[in-house]
Amino acid sequence: MKKSLNGFLLLTVLALALTGCGKASSTTDTNENASSGSTPTEETAGPVTVKHSGGELKLDKPAKRVVTLEWTYTEDVVALGVQPVGSADNANYKVYVTPEAALDDTVTDVGTRDEPNLEAIAALKPDLIIANSNSNIYDQLNAIAPTLEYDLYTGDGYNYDKMTETFNNIAVALGKEDQAKKVLDELDQHYTEAKDKLAAADKSEFHYVLTQAFTYQNAASLRMFTDNAVVIGTLAKVGLVNDWQPDKIEGYGFSTVGIESLPAVQDSNFIYITQPDDDVFGTAMKDNSVWKGLNFVKDKRTYQLDSTTWTFGGPISSKALVDGVVGAITQ
Amino acid sequence: MSSVQHSRPVFNWRTLSIYGGGLTALIVLFFVSLCYGEASIPLHTVVDSLMGRQDTLEHNMIWDLRMPRTVIGILAGGALAVAGSLLQTITRNPLAASDTLGINAGAYFVVVLGTIFFPGLMQQSPFLFAVLGGLLAAAAAYFMGGGRTSSPVRLALSGMIVSMVLGSFTSALHIFFSQETQALFLWGSGTLVQNDWSGVIYAWPWVIGITIVALVLSRQWDMLELDESTASSLGQKVGMARATGLIIAVLLAAVIVSVIGPIGFVGLVAPHLVRLSGIRSNRLLLPGVFLWGAALLVGADVLAKMVHNSSLELPTGAVMAIIGAPWLIWLVLTRMKAANGSGMSTSMSTGARSRRWAFGPIAIIFTVLTLALVLLSTMFGGMRIPMADLLPSLFQSDGLYSAIVQLRIPRTLVAAGAGAALAISGVLIQMAVRNPLADASIVGVSSGAGLGAMMVIILWPGLPVFLLPIAAIVGAGLAAAVVFSLSWKKGLNPSAVVLLGIAMSAIAGAGIQVLIVRGAVYGSSGFIWLTGSTYARTWDQVKIIGVFLLILIPLAWWLARRFELLVFDDNSASGLGLSVRRTRLLAMTVGVLLAAGAVACVGTVGFIGLIAPHMVRLLTGNKLRRSMFLSALVGAVMLVLADTIGRTIMAPTEIPSGLLIAIIGTPYFLYLMYRSNWRKSA
């Protein structure tokens, strides 16, 4: 493994050297400066060093033309007040991620998240690419532009700390550290306000389980989120208590179970996310005797969140989640 | 009188053991099945709920979640087993079943098609869609295999090809209409999970009704068991009986597929299990087959639930394949008669009757075509590069199109190299097993490589990327080694190799299913790998395929004279002093290694190894070196063309090359089969 790491670092250095050679002969695009005029916060100038899965990435100056290849990073970039020049799977981003982090029409769709179109990315002439670590195209991306890659689901998984850490790293790359601090401070303030609302509604320390449910192989499949999920970390910030505590924690932050596992938590409250065209609890499960026999169903303690509640998102998704949950359980 | 007395006790004992054993197994499995699930429910609670249901969660889980699943397993297992038994009878083929004849794949494909384009109609009558698909697939496999004159192996191969074709089309629909199909059985390996009784309520009248019809017609099936001349003397009834049997089998398979998706192997295993007892009369055979089919499938489902970890449950179909494929291996090794090659050599020489063209001009034309296509490939993609700008972009590192050209060249070269490797592999393997329907996938190479790669992608996603091709090559090599070693005892008989390869592919395929389900979050990228893709290929892959070609092509060229002798039947070849077994092993090994190298670079791309040799054979006959050269060019052209089209027409989304090869190759292949049969009957 050490050998591989050395080889990888060597490749990174070579890629950076090649990139540097390429940069030397290019001219600065004066139009790029115009887009930063709207930001009230002062930006970082000069060289920046960013941490990522591959070690550290050095940029001559903060990136302006960003391509994001996973929705998490897309949202992070938008939260910093920047629109990427390209991002992956834009049509579905609109379906699954909160409209509070919407993309402009100016953002080019560069193909699927699994196989982004390398030519489309190259044609955009980005100065930064942000991708997942499981990608096997890092070298090719890095040949196009300096590339950050993050491994969100290893170790403790994509939990709250990793969400803020990734967000802050991206802010460094874009020279937007002040903006990032502002976003996170406002988020903390939002949590405080949410706590007050919950206290006023006598819902402090509200117990719940949170699931994203869909039809899979003709039956209900539920992703029950565990404590290492960013969504659970977010709700913990407002004092809610997650009752889904399985023996085994998965890196993705959820257990995949069927209806049979719900009796064990039927005295908790059931918060769920489904898609409009696959509302499994409103259709397939509606007349199911097991479902109807659960205490939280009989007591009407089930709460549906908006289908655009994105469970692997950044700070904007965390805010949307809190708004959705507080709204659902206090009305 | 004494002889009558003697036979009755034996007969009764056997019948009793089949029925008693099957019933006992089914009852035990019924209770075990009701006990297993995500929630822990003890046996006494199960018994209590059956004696008198109360409105408790445990009783509701047993009655409305677990029992529908168990009952649908009984119906599905029984129906598929009866269908398999009938298909084996009407085709006189011990390998016939709804999955080996492509019926399951056909029914499933049309169900997916209906879900996308006719969702309202699909909601009302999924059964009709499944029946239509199943009938078309069965007819295609039967006639492609040669109809009534088909040998067991050829029919199994035809069914396998039909399943591959329809599987590719289903995959294409899934990629292009991923939103509409996400609610379907994503990996199509079948599951018994039920939310309620609706599946059972829908299926049981059809299953019981059609099975009773089959039982009433027992004498028809008995008649078909007679030897050909006796059956023929009964005239038109034979054809009618066959058609009736086929329709009944398709109906049974279709109703099951429309409820739980395609599940293989139960239709193959159960009939043999019962026939082993010596039962011959269909009046006694069919109920026994139903019983044991039900027991087998419920047993597989219990195993699937047992293996359940805290996250995910295995698809029942995958477990059934793991149980059933070794059975196929056992069948081949213990019960297969030694077949002489005369029948197959006839098939092999079908293409040679066409007028031959001069090799020189053809070689020049194909070479020019290949080079021109490589050039075009570099020009086309999401963005078109004018010819005038192409040359400067090749040598400037910072030109207008330089970055894009640098992305296209390696993938074009990988596509050309892998296509050539697959084509030559097809030539060698078809020659070795003397069967025009053979390519590397039939010795388990594609599935073995796929399994090796999926292990890296899903089980150890953190491993370095360069291990992926190595894992694929190792997986391919292991699969082929198992097939070769098992068939060595049969003298590497072509039929044995084919059948063992089918079993190996099924086992590896089941492993792939398990891994895909387990790694659901990354399933999509693994899925694309399995379809075959030239996406994001780099100079590393160019080197890999280059090494394989540089080593193996000269070796194959040098051995070509010896390989050519394999075209003759075994006796003639031995008479020429050739060690048939060793030569066949050598040819297949070189073919397998070429395919493994290609799979390591582009994933599992089917059809090139199947089609390219045929196109060339029409032109040049059976000269091996010429076939190798021209096939390599044809293979390269096919894959480069698929790559170019795939990255152009839906940009920025790319269509995997393997799907395009299947879509382009299928019509040609069907034409080839049709032409082959027509010529034979002329």
ipTM: 0.77
C-alpha span between B254 and A255 (Å, rounded): 34
Contact in structure between B73 and B298 (CB atoms under 8 Å): yes
Interface of B with A in 260-319 (CB under 8 A): 260-261, 309-313, 315
Strand partners, A66: A128
Q: Which of A200-204, A326-330, B351-355, B595-599 has the lowest mean pLDDT?
A: B351-355
How many angstroms separate the CA atoms of B123 and B630, rounded?
49
Distance between B641 CA and the closest CA of chain A, angstroms: 18
Residue B525: predicted pLDDT:
58
Q: Nearest-CA distance from B519 to chain A in Å?
A: 10
pLDDT under 50: residue ranges of chain A: 1-40
Token digits of residue B445: 């190479």
**pLDDT of res. A126:** 92
- Per DSSP, A320 falls in state H
Strands A207-216 and A270-273: parallel
DSSP three-state, residue A254: strand
B328 pLDDT more than 60: yes
Query: How do residues B504-526 score in pLDDT, each as one tens digit?
Result: 888 888 888 777 766 654 445 56
> What pLDDT does B188 receive?
56
Chain A residues inside the 8 Å CB shell of B538: 139-140
Residues 292-321 of A with CB under 8 A from B: 293-294
Q: Is A266–B57 a contact, with Cβ atoms under 8 angstroms apart? A: yes
DSSP-derived letter for residue A222 is E
Q: Report the residue from A115, A143, A260 with minimal CB separation from B37.
A: A260
Quick check: B95 pLDDT over 90? no
Note the pLDDT of residue A3.
33
pLDDT for the residue B337 = 55
Give residue for tokens 């063992």: B500
- Check: CB of residue B427 under 8 Å from CB of residue B632: no
Q: How many CB atoms lie within 10 A of CB B2?
A: 5
- Among B45, B54, B56, B57, the residue to mutate for chain A (most A Cβ within 10 A): B57
A157 DSSP assignment: -
Q: Determine the pLDDT at residue A275.
A: 85
CB contact at 8 A, B98 and B83: yes
Contacts of A227 by beta carbon, 8 Å cutoff, 6+ apart: A159, A233, A242, A245, A249
> Who wins on pLDDT, A234 or B334?
A234
Q: What is the pLDDT of residue B92?
A: 78
Interface probe for B, chosen from A14, A244, A290, A297 (most Cβ of B below 10 Å), is A290
In angstroms, what CA-CA distances link B567 with B487, B588, B623?
19, 14, 10
Tokens of B569: 């039947």
Q: Are B447 and B504 in contact (CB under 8 A)?
A: yes
Q: Hunting for tokens 């099945």 — which residue is that?
A: B33
Contact status, residue B593 vs residue B552, Cβ threshold 8 Å: yes
B656, B532 Cβ separation under 8 angstroms: yes
Cβ of B191 within 8 Å of Cβ of A263? The answer is no
Average pLDDT estimate for B157-170: 79
* pLDDT tens by residue, B568-580: 766 666 666 667 7
Which pLDDT score is estimated for A28? 32
What does the pLDDT read at residue B341? 41
Of A231, A232, A153, A186, residue with least CA distance to A80: A186
For A45, residues 6+ apart whose C-beta sits below 8 A from its C-beta are A61, A62, A175
Residues whose CB is less than 8 angstroms from the CB of residue A306 and which lie 6 or more positions away in sequence, other chains included: A98, A273, A320, A324
Whether A14 has its CB under 8 Å from any CB of chain B: the answer is no
Helices (H) and strands (E) in chain A, counts: 11, 13
Asked if A30 is an interface residue toward chain B (Cβ–Cβ < 8 A), one would say: no
Percent of chain A with pLDDT over 90: 46
pLDDT class of B464 with cuts at 50, 70, 90: confident
Centroid of chain to Cα B461: 27
Write out pLDDT tens, residues B253-284: 989 988 888 788 888 888 888 887 777 788 88
Over the stretch B633-668, which tens digit does the pLDDT of each residue have? 989 988 988 888 888 887 777 887 878 887 777 777
pLDDT at A21: 30
Residue range A274-310, pLDDT digits in tens: 988 788 887 778 888 888 899 999 999 999 999 889 9
**What is the rounded CA–CA span in Å between residue B31 and residue B590?**
51
How sure is the predictor about B138, in pLDDT bands with cuts at 50, 70 and 90?
confident
B653 touches chain A (CB under 8 A): yes
Tokens of B473: 């090559």
Residue A27 region, left (φ>0) first, then alpha (ψ -120 to 50), else beta?
beta
pLDDT (tens digit per residue) in A310-328? 999 999 999 999 999 999 9
With a CB cutoff of 8 Å and minimum separation 6, the contacts of B111 are B122, B126, B129, B130, B133, B184, B257, B258
Distances (CA, A) of B265 to B223, B293, B325, B327: 26, 10, 7, 9
Contact B652 A109 (CB under 8 A): yes
Q: Identify the CA nearest to A330 among candidates A228, A233, A238.
A: A238
Given this model, what pLDDT does residue B289 score? Answer: 92
Interchain CB distance below 8 Å, B64 and A290: yes
- Residue entry with tokens 């329709």: B247
Distance from C-alpha of B99 to C-alpha of B263, rounded to nearest angstrom:
8
pLDDT at A24: 30
Closest CA to B570 of B562, B578, B560: B578
DSSP state of A116: B
Which residues contact residue B623 at a Cβ distance below 8 angstroms, ignoring those fewer than 6 apart? B359, B564
* SS percent in chain B: helix, strand, coil, step 5: 80, 0, 20
Q: Report CB contact under 8 Å: A259, B65.
A: yes
Find out whether A141 and A19 touch, Cβ atoms under 8 Å: no
Helix spans in B434-538 (H): 445-454, 467-488, 494-518, 523-531
- H or E stretch at B399: none
